[in-house]
Amino acid sequence: MYPYLKNKNILLSVSSGIAIYKAIDLLSRLRKIGANPKVIMTKNAQSWISDQVFSAVGNCEVYYEIFDVKGGWIPHTELSRWADLLIIAPATANIIAKISHGIADDLVSSTALAYSKKAKLIVPTMNVRMYENPTNLSNLKMLNEQGWHIIEPEEGELADGEVGKGRYPDNIKILVHSEYLLTKKDFLNKKVLITAGPTVEKIDAVRFISNRSSGKMGYELAKEFSYRGAEVTLISGPTNLATPSIVKKIYRVENTQEMREKVLKEFQKNDIIIMSSAVSDFRIKNYSNQKLKKDSIINLELEKNPDILKELGEKKNEDQILIGFAAETENLKENAKKKLKEKNLDFIILNDVSRNDIGFDVEDNEISIISRKEELRIDKNNKRIIAGHICDYIFDRFF
């Protein structure tokens, strides 16, 4: 789900190279998420894939002729005015050199020169020796100084058999960075600490106790704050989620004690602290480094883990915003309000984890935001949308 790309006018400019087939997938994704795409192709790009393929996949217009002026429609000026976001993917060393030096001898380079908005993204893709050539790196530096958002190529085996930096990145990464460019930056210069996922407490060398938290809510919050300009630190317990490329600072921990140590180290550096992780309340006192036999684990001795959230509530200063989560199955509001008070939180986010359609390990959530002054219910929706509502609430109430 990419809400900030929906209904946006996105101009995909395609230059030549073996990675061009991946631009077809990018176009398909843009159409499916509800964007309004158009495509420009260089002459060499047409030697690889027909413009008809792009037109059919994107259900959109495809342009390639700089002099195709009809009825006052001048392609490079009109397309540059129409687009909310300009993406050049894949971008060859040739098109990078032309755009960085202001050369406008085809429709792609002319449109890029005429495009004056901030949302512009380029995806270099080429042979590793071409990419690492000082001239190409200098050209990329110039583009960065000119306001282009550059997604660096990935390392690995290239189409020509060489190994190194030059591979076209995953299109999900391009979509994520596209959303970043189109998102309001209302949390610019704010530092946000977010914890996510479960913690794991070992029983022996192969067994452990944990919970059903997938970490999705915390990860979506980390992405949303990053989109909106915040400097995000994400501390994550074990999850199966992909590392969000837009989040620059990520720490991975396993147990509650590790979570506590990392949180306390980062706590004072941040303006907003959101504790969405589901930490284990207990750990195994008689943990074994060896695998225990079945008859040895009938009676486990537990001891309490530290209460990280309460400790933060005691340490926080008046300028910090501390937010907790309450995953409850009964007496929902009563338990959430008690936690709000006992932990000295600014507000708490309540969700009903007794339901199978929201909360733990699913895509959707339904929450209530509870402070000492008010309660706000947010109806069931994708966790990505819920994260946006939470950010809106924080901005409206505190900034």
Rounded CA gap, 50 and 56, in Å?
10
Rounded CA gap, 180 and 150, in Å?
12
Three-state DSSP state, 298: coil
Structure tokens at 176: 């994520």
| Residues sharing a CB contact under 8 Å with residue 83, sequence separation 6 or more, in sequence order | 9, 10, 11, 38, 115, 117
Q: Are strands 36-41 and 62-63 parallel, antiparallel or unpaired?
A: parallel
Decide: 195 and 218 in contact? Cβ < 8 Å.
Answer: yes
Identify whether 335 is a catalytic site residue: no
Residue 140 main-chain phi, psi, to 5 deg: -65, -40
How far, in whole angstroms, is CA 112 from its chain's centroid? 26
CA distances from 65 to 156, 191, 269 (A): 35, 46, 53
Structure tokens at 309: 């959230």
Structure tokens at 5: 């790309």
- Give yes or no for a cis peptide into 90 (omega within 30° of 0): yes
Decide: 273 and 320 in contact? Cβ < 8 Å.
Answer: yes
Rounded CA gap, 192 and 198, in Å?
19
- What is the greatest pairwise CA distance in the chain? 85
Rounded CA gap, 386 and 217, in Å?
8
User: What 8-state DSSP symbol labels residue 6?
Assistant: T
| Residue indicated by tokens 């914890």 | 195
Q: Which of 171, 211, 255, 270 is catalytic?
A: 211
Beta bridge partners of residue 284, listed in sequence order: 302
Residues annotated as part of the active site: 211
